[in-house]
């Protein structure tokens, strides 16, 4: 197995699939769909292979592939896999095919399949890259398919949303690019590992100079904050997720926002521990804003997808909250490293779990939407539970998982985050609990309006229960939720050693 | 000294007469006479070759050309001479001529010219020939070329309405011959 | 008058020059204007010969050579001038210089 | 051989003797006046004789006696028509001199006078004998052609002054002919000047002294370029003096008497005198340039005084002119100009080239001189044949029918 | 037959298994899921008895068996089972009562469409409750706590097609969730300060003495955990959801909102009692007192059968919290056990009344059921007398007596004791009102008119429960405090409670008399007739009828607060952040515009102007070229003259 360049295959498989689809001129819609599904499943298979070959004990990146790419810029084609990226790769592997199956009817068009594969390929590229150059390449590349997918198959306001999404994100990452240019200028290297070492012993900040380091930190922070919507920079999120077609919004919420958080964990934190510590209080406030205001804004929404968008903003803000709490606490004398590891493990777990639950919920909304002929308002349905009990059951599980009900995967992640954050900063944890309450309120309002009550709105007329392909896309997610809820050890064993090694960051240089 | 004054007076008289006369042919012929006077001045100054050249060129050739020109450009009805025009013009001419003459005379009188009464230098034709073919060989060739080109040009210009001899200018410009020379700019 | 012969020659040439100038200015017939110009040229030749004759080193004969060339050029100029006059005549049917002012082709 | 034998220096002695009577300053003037009168008298009498000889030669060529009636007046002695010129002269003088009313009086009168004056002027530089040259000019040849060029002016005056369309047109055609042939005339002279190295006529004649192998006189005519030059000069001289094949202006069949229509009486005679003077001058120049001037044909004949030889050669040329007039038909104006521009001028230029070759190869010695001669000849013969063929390209072959 | 602690997890596992079987069974198979549920519960009842035997073998021992759920870097998250008399007793109570309710509900829910789901939810609830009871780790307890909340949500909202049921379910879940957050925070605090959440872990557990001593802010932790209890057991601030929970089917109310779930809060406080500091206990006592008083007062003015019972539960729970607050958690547990039986009995009675009266729940429309529903009346009466605290015969009296005795003995203040006494009177009053209104007089609505006794499946459990309410009193009388001693070995029953007993008997009699006086003697003829109490104190009665307007209060305060917060969050998003972005976009366009304008007006205009001026000057020059040759010559000549003069005048060396 060692011979096969597994990681490159993992990245290239979807792109190859996209290219193949683009070339398949005369193929019938059915074959296009199947080809697309095959390729996106191939990523899952490859991810599984990677999982098998992965040795959790080693915290350094494994299955590393490093080739010289651009000698002038000291840029290497450098792929690596450690706990964090493995979890996210698995998530992408799962969500990719599920998203495709969720929008099975639109997947009949060749371009849709190709673009979705491209999206998945770029996500994988981001998670596996260890060199800024092609990390940023995939980072930007992910926007292109997303833009077209939203624009071509989106809802009524799709064009505006697509443009806002791309321009907003690109402007953010433009700052990041400038920042990294400065880093390259100062240090001459773009490799994350080397930069992390420089960051760890503080020489990166020294090289950039005090103000320079702070500016560069801000640039990178801005780029990442826009992507993983950190609270004030999230206004593109609701409209984009609302307008995107089901499969795409599933992928966007599950994987794309995780790219931002991944960026925080992979780039921002190791490179700029001191700056992150200094600005942690502000960031904590923002994360709290995201948690609380995200939940409460969701309460106001009538469009289900916008509501879910805010819920995913809320969940992602939990991850960031944990990270910022850890960053805030680094260097404090009486710091319990156990709380820090709990918070970090919680973040990673939360990323995975939220990916599953948000994707499942969006899939359910997609089903509702398809039944109601495109309508997805809160008041357009009623008593769906009587009309489609199985569907209601599956959606219920997804809902309660994202609610954080114990026994399902959502709870474990949130419990660990709260355990960590409480240990590091009790006040913040207390306020964050409001978020939990808010999430419960709007999700239950959604459940009550749509599923409970007399049959009304779209559900009065024939509201078929969930059928083959929709079931195929929902079922694996639900099974995974329950499995991870009961036995989180499956995932945690992968990231535990990594997280404990991260605890080393806790002491400031 | 006397010869010089005599020659000068004759030449000036014939020139003035040439300029004043109404009849073109007479003025042309008188002018030829003044050119002959000049040749005489050259002879007096000792440059025979130049004198003979002067006679050969001016009296022989240029006067012929002038006469031909005068003949060819006979106006259908005799030119109505508009008195005020010529009077005014003549006045202006007088004034400017007088001014320029004054300047020359002033210059001549005031400038200390070497009044060396050196013996009249003579230059032999052989010496001239060597000079021409030596230092001024280039100039000689150029003048030769100039003459040929000028004369060819003159022929082309003065050709009658018939197409000019040889390749007509229009062909060269790729337009059907005979169309009037219209500036491409101002389309009708 | 204490004029030396050289100054006399110069006077002669300047007189001839001004005569040619006045002729050129006053006559409206193009040919005569050309002839006036010819006169001016000859006045210049007179100057040359005069200065050759009374100049410091006559043996160089540059004056004479120059006059020869001047005569040649004047001949060429007269030929072309008169050809032009004929061409103008063809267009204008009269050769009054004042009317030959159309600068366009 | 005795360059300064008594005969040679005879005329000079006479002149010195006559002039000695006058004070120093006027002596120069008198001398020149004497020379002038001598020349005028000689050529005027030759003119009269020539008119007669011409008519006799023409007659004899046309197999008729020619004027033999007029002898000594009031007597029966016919003197072979010698009195004819006298008679013509008197006729001319007594005829009424009609001047057209609209003619330009001044010009009308001035034309023949100017023509005659210029014709006479040309005699100044012709070396009649070893010492008999009226004016010893360094640029003699240039002077000759300068004076010759002025004749066109006179022709124009004549044509213009008679205020007659036909005379003006004739004058124009005559001028065209004169100008066209002036070029070959000059060009044929240039090789001679180049080889002789000097413009002065006496120099040229002296240059032609000497005989090769005692037999062949070193006249220019016996060199290839010389022969060609002489041929061109001869034809150009014919045209220049409006003679025979080129006598278009006075031709009866053309515009009446050309630019002379309005002239009559004495002016008409003057015109004729000027024409003959011009012809004599041209022949004289031809003799000086090509036929060795006053050089004797053979070394041992050198004792005969130089002016005799000059006179003999002159008479032969004049007779040749008359002979040509008698035999060749008249050329049309376009044939005439085409002959000049398309045949004579290029040939003259080629001749110039050959002369240049000749002067460069001057130091070839021995047998090579023969090849040099042959080369020069060939260089000339080629273009001559080509140009000739080109000249008569479109015409049908000439058929000669001899009078049976 | 004793059950070892390792096998303790079987007790909750069996009902869970039944729940799973229930969900997977095809729709409509009501019989299958019901029978599996009942079988599973009987089995776990037997196991609980076994566990009781092992627990009674050594009452003071806390048998635990712990295992690792998942390891987390430094430490591992460990869960475990705990067996001690409290756990055993609670398991027996829950399984026994649950069993009876299951049997009852087979009859009650027979004609409901998705009864299958009902039974699977019930068994899910039972599993969660049992899991909660046996949990040795607060984390496991919290997990089951939330699952119990979920089950209650599903059961309350069982008839989800009724909007009120759905709203009630949501309200229940939300309010309990608020409490749960408090519990979570307390739990986290505990975890953070002690490093483990296990209660007893060979000395390392939270409740082990050595760790307990070292614990810092245990008051705050105690109070936070108490919040969870307040939410779950419907104590004073968070009691609003309990009355609405009556929307669910009656067996649900009986099981969850009488016997088990609401008791979970009290059980939790009893479980973590060593953790509670005196200050915490004061708060608990007073909240308990207030809740007791509040519940009783509101119950008097309710007109819905199940609402009255719900409020009575609230007040009884207040009693239990009061008992804990005053330090005697044993009395609280004793009262909890007895209350579970007679309240279940009352609810099931009410259930059979409603079932018989065709879902008529308004007591004003009932009446005169004494005749047709004999057994229901008798069992209901027994339950009423136990609840009211009729002396000696009924368990309710003994447990209430223990509580009052403990309250009386509390050193801090006597206010809770007096509140308790008042509550006794009120309890007796509203129970008599209830019984009079429902069973005596003659039927006022047509539902009641056709009521007839239910089948054995429903009446049998009533009988059994009635028997238990009578017998259970014996285990905790002052003379033979068996129960107290088993629960708390060091329990010493101080004598001299006789005076207190007398006063309470008098008060009970007073309450019964008043109730009978107002309602018993002259029964109201028509349902529309005014309630006698309303006649006496109309405004108070209306106030109480409206549940002291707590709902409106909460709606006005928290409801509006959350709405405004949501509104401002959304507005913030829509206008502020989006506004900023739109502003930037407009700024961009504006700079573009300015740029173009500057170019257009500034640069190009300037450029055009200069080129225009150049063309003008060129035109002026060109006019100089007239084509008049004379003019040129004149110019040259004059120029020459002027030049010469200039040189002469100006030059001059």
State chain B's maximal CA–CA distance in angstroms: 71
Separation in Å, CA of B18 to nearest CA in chain C: 9
DSSP A81: E
Please indicate, yes or no, if residue B26 is contained in any of the structural domains. Answer: yes
pTM of the model: 0.65
- Among E644, E647, E652, the residue to mutate for chain B (most B Cβ within 10 A): E644
The minimal CB distance from C82 to the residues B46, B66, B86 is found for B66
Cα dihedral D369, D375, D377, D379 in deg (nearest 10): -150
Per-residue pLDDT reduced to its tens digit, A261-270? 999 988 888 8
DSSP string, A111-175: HHHHHHHHHHHHHHHHHHB-BHHHHHHHHHHTHHHHHHHHHHH--TTHHHHHHHHHHHHHHHHHH
The token duo for D119 is 């014709």
More confident residue, E605 or E425: E425
What is the SS3 assignment for E441?
A: coil
Q: What is the chain B residue with the closest CA to C9?
A: B4
Distance CA D66, CA D55 (A): 6
In 3D space, the residue among E200, E176, E63, E199 whose CA is nearest the CA of residue E128 turns out to be E176
Per-residue pLDDT reduced to its tens digit, B125-136? 888 888 888 888
Structure confidence at residue B120 (pLDDT): 67
The minimal CB distance from D199 to the residues B26, B29, B125 is found for B125
Decide if pLDDT at A420 tops 90: no
Decide if pLDDT at C73 tops 80: yes
In 3D space, the residue among B38, B131, B45, B52 whose CA is nearest the CA of residue C53 turns out to be B45
Three-state SS annotation for A344-372: HHHHHHHHHHHHHHHHHHHHHHHHHHHHC
Separation in Å, CA of C101 to nearest CA in chain B: 16
The token duo for D208 is 């032609």
For chain E, the chains sharing at least 3 beta-carbon pairs closer than 8 angstroms are A, B, C
Decide if pLDDT at D258 tops 80: no
Decide if pLDDT at B174 tops 60: no
Separation in Å, CA of E586 to nearest CA in chain C: 57
The token duo for B157 is 């210009």
Average pLDDT of chain D to the nearest whole number? 84
Average pLDDT of chain E to the nearest whole number? 84
Per-residue pLDDT reduced to its tens digit, E433-474? 888 888 887 777 777 777 777 787 788 888 888 888 888 877
Structure confidence at residue D206 (pLDDT): 87
For chain D, the chains sharing at least 3 beta-carbon pairs closer than 8 angstroms are B
Q: What is the domain count for chain B?
A: 2
Range of the structural domain that residue B48 is part of: 1-75
**Listed residues B20, B54, B75: the one ending a domain:** B75
Percent of chain C surpassing pLDDT 70: 95
- Are chains D and C in contact at 3+ CB pairs closer than 8 Å? no
For the segment D76-105, the average pLDDT, to the nearest whole number, is 81
In chain E, which residues have their Cβ closer than 8 Å to the Cβ of B109? none
User: Which residues neighbour D194 within 8 Å (Cβ) at sequence distance 6 or greater?
Assistant: D352, D355, D356, D359
Structure confidence at residue E238 (pLDDT): 86
Per-residue pLDDT reduced to its tens digit, E563-622? 888 888 888 888 887 788 888 888 888 888 888 888 888 888 888 888 888 888 888 887
User: Which residues neighbour E518 within 8 Å (Cβ) at sequence distance 6 or greater?
Assistant: E433, E532, E533, E536
Residue identified by tokens 């592997």 is A93
User: Which residues neighbour A4 within 8 Å (Cβ) at sequence distance 6 or greater?
Assistant: none
Decide if pLDDT at D138 tops 90: no
Decide if pLDDT at A508 tops 70: no
Structure confidence at residue A275 (pLDDT): 86
When mean pLDDT is compared across A358-367, B77-86, C25-34, D76-85, the lowest value belongs to B77-86
How many Å is the Cα radius of gyration of chain E? 40
Decide if pLDDT at E258 tops 90: no
Distances, alpha carbon B108 to alpha carbons B104, C6, E201, in Å: 6, 10, 138
Residue identified by tokens 């003119």 is D47
Structure confidence at residue A120 (pLDDT): 92
Residue identified by tokens 């509550």 is E423
Per-residue pLDDT reduced to its tens digit, A124-138? 999 998 888 889 999
Distance CA D141, CA D199 (A): 6
Written out in words, the top-level CATH class of the domain with range C5-99 is mainly alpha
The minimal CB distance from A407 to the residues E147, E161, E181 is found for E147
Put simply, the answer to whether A338 touches E161 (Cβ < 8 Å) is: no
When mean pLDDT is compared across A77-86, A349-358, D43-52, E197-206, the lowest value belongs to E197-206
Structure confidence at residue A123 (pLDDT): 92
Residue identified by tokens 């002279």 is D189
The minimal CB distance from A448 to the residues E170, E188, E562 is found for E170
For the segment E195-221, the average pLDDT, to the nearest whole number, is 79
Separation in Å, CA of D363 to nearest CA in chain B: 22
Please indicate, yes or no, if residue B80 is contained in any of the structural domains. Answer: no
Counts for chain C of helices (H) and strands (E), in that order: 3, 0
Kindly indicate the confidence band of residue E537, based on its pLDDT and cuts at 50, 70 and 90. Answer: confident
Structure confidence at residue E652 (pLDDT): 60
In 3D space, the residue among D203, D139, E456, D104 whose CA is nearest the CA of residue B23 turns out to be D104
Put simply, the answer to whether E630 touches C98 (Cβ < 8 Å) is: yes
Kindly indicate the confidence band of residue E1, based on its pLDDT and cuts at 50, 70 and 90. Answer: low
When mean pLDDT is compared across A181-190, A280-289, B174-183, the lowest value belongs to B174-183
Q: What ranges do the domains of chain A cover?
A: 292-509
Put simply, the answer to whether E641 touches B103 (Cβ < 8 Å) is: yes
DSSP string, E75-135: EEEEEEEEESHHHHHHHHHHHHHHHHHHHHHHHHTTT-TTHHHHHHHHHHHHHHHHHHHHB
Distance CA A326, CA A277 (A): 9
Q: What ranges do the domains of chain D cover?
A: 99-388
Residue identified by tokens 């409480």 is A422
Per-residue pLDDT reduced to its tens digit, A38-83? 998 999 999 998 888 888 888 888 888 888 888 888 888 888 888 8
Decide if pLDDT at D295 tops 90: no
Percent of chain D surpassing pLDDT 70: 96
Is some CB atom of chain B closer than 8 A to the CB atom of E630? yes
CB A420 within 8 A of CB A384: no
User: Which residues neighbour C23 within 8 Å (Cβ) at sequence distance 6 or greater?
Assistant: B15, B18, B19, B93, C32, C33, C35, C36, C39
Decide if pLDDT at D355 tops 50: yes
First to last CA, chain C: 55
For the segment E551-559, the average pLDDT, to the nearest whole number, is 83
For the segment A398-424, the average pLDDT, to the nearest whole number, is 87
For the segment E408-415, the average pLDDT, to the nearest whole number, is 83
In 3D space, the residue among B12, B1, B6 whose CA is nearest the CA of residue C3 turns out to be B1
Average pLDDT of chain A to the nearest whole number? 86
- Among B2, B6, B12, B15, the residue to mutate for chain C (most C Cβ within 10 A): B15
Distance CA E588, CA E586 (A): 5
Distance CA A132, CA A129 (A): 7
Decide if pLDDT at A392 tops 50: yes
Put simply, the answer to whether D147 touches B55 (Cβ < 8 Å) is: yes
Q: Which H or E run contains D212?
A: strand D211-212
For the segment A143-161, the average pLDDT, to the nearest whole number, is 88
Structure confidence at residue E433 (pLDDT): 86
In chain C, which residues have their Cβ closer than 8 Å to the Cβ of E629? 33, 97, 100
**Residue E245 exposed, middle or buried by CB count within 10 Å (0-12, 13-18, 19+):** buried
In chain E, which residues have their Cβ closer than 8 Å to the Cβ of A503? 73
Kindly indicate the confidence band of residue D348, based on its pLDDT and cuts at 50, 70 and 90. Answer: very high
């Amino acid at each position: 197995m060692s011979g096969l360049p597994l990681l490159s295959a993992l990245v290239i498989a979807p792109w190859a699939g996209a290219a193949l689809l683009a070339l398949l001129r005369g193929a019938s819609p059915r074959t296009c769909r199947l080809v697309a599904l095959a390729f996106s499943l191939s990523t899952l298979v490859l991810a599984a292979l990677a999982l098998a070959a992965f040795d959790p004990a080693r915290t350094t990146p494994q299955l590393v592939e490093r080739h010289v790419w651009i000698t002038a810029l000291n840029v290497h084609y450098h792929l690596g896999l450690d706990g964090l990226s493995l979890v996210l790769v698995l998530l992408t592997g799962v969500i990719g095919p599920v998203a495709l199956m969720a929008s099975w009817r639109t997947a009949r068009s060749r371009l849709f399949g190709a673009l979705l594969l491209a999206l998945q390929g770029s996500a994988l590229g981001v998670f596996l890259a260890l060199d800024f150059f092609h990390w940023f390449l995939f980072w930007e590349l992910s926007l292109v398919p997303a833009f077209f997918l939203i624009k071509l198959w989106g809802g009524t306001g799709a064009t505006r949303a697509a443009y806002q999404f791309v321009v907003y994100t690109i402007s953010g990452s433009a700052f990041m690019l400038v920042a990294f240019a400065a880093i390259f200028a100062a240090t001459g290297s773009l490799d994350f590992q080397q930069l992390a070492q420089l960051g760890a012993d503080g020489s990166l900040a020294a090289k950039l100079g005090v103000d320079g380091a702070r500016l560069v930190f801000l640039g990178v922070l801005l780029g990442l904050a826009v992507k993983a919507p950190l609270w004030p920079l999230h206004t593109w999120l609701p409209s984009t997720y609302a307008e995107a077609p089901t499969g795409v919004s599933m992928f966007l919420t599950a994987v794309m926002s995780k790219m931002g958080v991944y960026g925080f964990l992979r780039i921002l934190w190791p490179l700029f521990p001191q700056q992150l510590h200094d600005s942690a209080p502000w960031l904590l406030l923002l994360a709290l804003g995201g948690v609380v205001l995200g939940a409460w804004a969701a309460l106001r929404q009538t469009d289900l997808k916008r509501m879910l968008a805010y819920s995913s903003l809320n969940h992602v803000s939990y991850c960031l909250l944990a990270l910022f709490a850890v960053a805030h606490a680094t260097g404090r004398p009486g710091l319990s490293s156990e709380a820090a590891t709990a918070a970090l493990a919680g973040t990673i777990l939360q990323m995975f779990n939220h990916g599953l639950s948000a994707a499942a919920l969006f899939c359910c909304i997609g089903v509702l939407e398809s039944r109601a002929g495109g309508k997805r308002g809160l008041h357009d349905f009623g008593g769906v539970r009587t009309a489609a009990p199985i569907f209601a059951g599956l959606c219920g599980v997804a809902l309660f998982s994202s609610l954080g009900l114990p026994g399902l995967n959502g709870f474990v992640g949130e419990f660990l985050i709260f355990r960590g954050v409480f240990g590091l900063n009790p006040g913040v944890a207390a306020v964050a609990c409001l978020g939990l309450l808010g999430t419960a309120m709007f999700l239950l309002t959604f459940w009550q309006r749509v599923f409970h009550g007399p049959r009304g709105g779209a559900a009065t007329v024939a509201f078929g229960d969930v059928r083959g392909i929709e079931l195929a896309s929902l079922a694996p997610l639900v099974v995974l939720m329950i499995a991870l809820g009961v036995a989180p050890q499956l995932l945690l064993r992968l990231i535990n050693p990594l997280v404990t090694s991260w605890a080393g960051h806790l002491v400031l240089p | 000294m006397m010869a010089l004054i005599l020659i000068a007076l004759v030449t000036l008289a014939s020139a003035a007469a040439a300029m004043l006369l109404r009849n073109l042919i007479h003025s042309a012929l008188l002018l030829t006479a003044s050119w002959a006077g000049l040749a005489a001045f050259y002879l007096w100054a000792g440059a025979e070759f130049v004198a003979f050249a002067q006679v050969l060129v001016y009296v022989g050739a240029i006067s012929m050309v002038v006469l031909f020109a005068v003949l060819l450009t006979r106006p259908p009805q005799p030119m109505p001479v508009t008195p005020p025009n010529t009077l005014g013009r003549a006045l202006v001419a007088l004034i400017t001529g007088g001014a320029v003459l004054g300047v020359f005379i002033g210059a001549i009188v005031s400038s200390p010219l070497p009044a060396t009464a050196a013996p009249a230098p003579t230059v032999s034709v052989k010496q001239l020939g060597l000079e021409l073919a030596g230092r001024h060989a280039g100039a000689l060739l150029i003048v030769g070329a100039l003459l040929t080109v000028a004369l060819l040009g003159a022929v082309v210009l003065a050709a009658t309405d018939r197409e000019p001899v040889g390749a007509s200018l229009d062909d060269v410009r790729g337009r059907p011959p005979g169309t009037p020379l219209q500036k491409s700019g101002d389309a009708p | 008058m204490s004029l030396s012969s050289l100054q006399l020659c110069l006077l002669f040439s300047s007189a001839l020059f001004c005569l040619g100038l006045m002729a050129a200015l006053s006559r409206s017939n193009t040919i005569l204007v050309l002839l006036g110009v010819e006169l001016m040229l000859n006045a210049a030749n007179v100057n040359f010969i005069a200065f050759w004759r009374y100049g410091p080193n006559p043996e160089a004969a540059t004056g004479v050579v120059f006059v020869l060339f001047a005569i040649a050029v004047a001949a060429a100029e007269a030929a072309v001038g008169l050809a032009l006059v004929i061409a103008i005549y063809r267009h204008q049917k009269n050769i009054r210089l004042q009317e030959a002012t159309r600068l366009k082709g | 051989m005795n360059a300064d034998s008594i005969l040679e220096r005879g005329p000079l002695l006479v002149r010195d003797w006559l002039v000695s009577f006058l004070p120093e300053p006027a002596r120069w003037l008198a001398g020149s006046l004497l020379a002038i009168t001598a020349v005028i008298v000689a050529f005027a009498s030759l003119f009269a004789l020539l008119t007669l000889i011409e008519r006799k030669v023409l007659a004899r060529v046309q197999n008729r006696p020619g004027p033999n009636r007029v002898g000594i007046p009031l007597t029966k002695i016919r003197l072979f028509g010698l009195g004819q010129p006298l008679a013509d002269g008197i006729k001319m003088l007594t005829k009424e001199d009609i001047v057209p009313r609209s003619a330009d009086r001044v010009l009308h009168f001035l034309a023949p006078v100017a023509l005659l004056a210029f014709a006479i002027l040309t005699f100044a530089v012709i070396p009649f004998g070893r010492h008999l040259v009226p004016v010893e000019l360094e640029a003699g040849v240039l002077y000759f052609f300068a004076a010759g060029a002025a004749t066109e002016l006179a022709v124009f005056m004549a044509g213009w002054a008679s205020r007659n369309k036909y005379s003006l047109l004739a004058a124009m055609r005559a001028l065209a002919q004169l100008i066209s042939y002036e070029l070959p005339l000059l060009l044929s002279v240039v090789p001679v000047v180049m080889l002789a190295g000097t413009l002065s006529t006496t120099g040229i004649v002296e240059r032609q002294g000497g005989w090769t192998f005692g037999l062949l006189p070193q006249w220019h005519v016996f060199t290839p370029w010389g022969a060609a030059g002489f041929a061109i000069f001869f034809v150009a001289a014919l045209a220049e003096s409006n003679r025979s094949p080129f006598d278009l202006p006075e031709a009866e069949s053309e515009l009446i008497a050309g630019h002379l229509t309005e002239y009559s009486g004495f002016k008409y005679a003057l015109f004729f005198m000027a024409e003959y003077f011009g012809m004599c001058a041209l022949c004289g120049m031809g003799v000086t340039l090509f036929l060795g001037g006053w050089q004797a044909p053979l070394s041992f004949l050198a004792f005969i005084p130089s002016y005799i030889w000059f006179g003999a050669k002159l008479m032969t040329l004049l007779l040749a002119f008359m002979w040509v007039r008698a035999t060749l038909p008249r050329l049309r104006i376009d044939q005439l100009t085409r002959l000049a521009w398309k045949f004579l001028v290029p040939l003259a230029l080629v001749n110039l080239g050959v002369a240049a070759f000749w002067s460069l190869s001057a130091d070839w010695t021995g047998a090579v001189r023969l090849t040099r001669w042959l080369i020069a000849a060939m260089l000339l013969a080629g273009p001559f044949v080509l140009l000739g063929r080109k000249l008569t390209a479109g015409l049908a072959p000439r058929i000669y029918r001899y009078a049976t | 037959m004793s059950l070892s602690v390792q096998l303790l997890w079987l007790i909750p596992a069996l009902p869970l298994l039944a729940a799973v079987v229930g969900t997977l069974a095809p729709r409509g198979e009501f019989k299958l899921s019901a029978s599996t549920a009942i079988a599973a519960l009987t089995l776990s009842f037997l196991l609980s008895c076994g566990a009781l035997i092992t627990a009674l073998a050594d009452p003071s021992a806390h048998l635990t068996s712990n295992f690792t759920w998942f390891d987390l870097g430094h430490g591992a998250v460990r869960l475990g089972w705990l067996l001690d008399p409290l756990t055993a007793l609670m398991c027996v109570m829950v399984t026994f009562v649950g069993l009876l309710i299951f049997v009852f509900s087979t009859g009650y829910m027979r004609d409901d469409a998705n009864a299958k789901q009902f039974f699977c939810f019930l068994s899910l609830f039972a599993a969660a409750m049992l899991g909660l009871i046996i949990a040795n780790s607060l984390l496991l307890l919290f997990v089951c706590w939330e699952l119990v909340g979920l089950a209650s949500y599903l059961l309350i909202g069982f008839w989800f097609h009724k909007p009120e049921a759905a709203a009630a379910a949501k309200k229940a879940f939300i309010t309990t969730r608020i409490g749960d957050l408090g519990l979570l925070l307390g739990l986290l605090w505990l975890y953070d300060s002690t490093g483990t959440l296990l209660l007893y872990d060979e000395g390392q557990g939270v409740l082990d003495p050595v760790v307990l001593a070292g614990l810092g802010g245990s008051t705050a932790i105690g109070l936070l955990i108490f919040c969870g209890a307040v939410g779950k057991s419907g104590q004073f601030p968070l009691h609003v959801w309990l009355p609405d929970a009556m929307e669910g089917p009656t067996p649900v109310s009986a099981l969850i909102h009488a016997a088990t779930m609401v008791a979970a809060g009290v059980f939790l406080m009893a479980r973590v009692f060593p953790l509670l500091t005196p200050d915490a206990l004061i708060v608990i006592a007073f909240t308990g007192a207030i809740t007791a008083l509040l519940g009783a007062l509101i119950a008097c003015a309710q007109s819905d059968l199940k609402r009255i019972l719900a409020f009575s539960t609230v007040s009884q729970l207040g009693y239990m919290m009061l008992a804990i607050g005053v330090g005697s958690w044993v009395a609280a547990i004793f009262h909890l056990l007895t209350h579970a039986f007679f309240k279940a009995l009352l609810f099931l009675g009410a259930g059979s009344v409603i079932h018989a009266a065709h879902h008529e729940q308004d007591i004003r429309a009932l009446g005169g059921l004494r005749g047709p529903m004999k057994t229901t009346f008798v069992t209901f009466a027994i339950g009423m007398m136990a609840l009211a605290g009729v002396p000696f015969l009924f368990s309710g009296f003994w447990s209430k007596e223990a509580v009052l005795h403990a309250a009386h003995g509390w050193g801090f203040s006597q206010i809770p004791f007096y509140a308790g006494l008042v509550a006794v009177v009120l309890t007796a009053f509203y129970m008599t009102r209830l019984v009079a209104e429902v069973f005596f007089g003659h039927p006022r609505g047509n539902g009641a008119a056709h009521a007839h006794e239910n089948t054995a499946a429903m009446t049998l459990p009533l009988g059994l429960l009635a028997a238990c309410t009578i017998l259970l009193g014996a285990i905790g009388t002052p003379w033979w405090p068996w129960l107290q001693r088993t629960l708390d070995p060091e329990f010493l029953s101080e004598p001299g409670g006789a005076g207190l007993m007398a006063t309470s008997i008098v008060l009970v009699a007073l309450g019964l008399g008043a109730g009978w006086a107002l309602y018993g003697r002259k029964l109201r003829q028509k349902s529309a007739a005014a309630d006698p109490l309303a006649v006496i104190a109309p405004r108070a009665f209306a106030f109480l009828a409206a549940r002291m307007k707590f709902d409106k209060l909460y709606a006005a305060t928290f409801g509006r607060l959350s709405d405004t917060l949501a509104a401002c969050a959304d507005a913030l998003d829509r206008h502020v952040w989006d506004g900023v972005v739109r502003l930037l976009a407009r700024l961009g366009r504006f700079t573009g515009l300015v740029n173009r304008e500057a170019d257009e007006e500034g640069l190009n205009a300037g450029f055009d102007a200069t080129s225009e001026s150049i063309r003008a000057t060129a035109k002026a020059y060109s006019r100089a070229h007239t084509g008049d040759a004379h003019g040129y010559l004149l110019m040259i000549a004059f120029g020459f003259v002027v030049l010469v003069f200039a040189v002469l005048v100006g030059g001059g060396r």
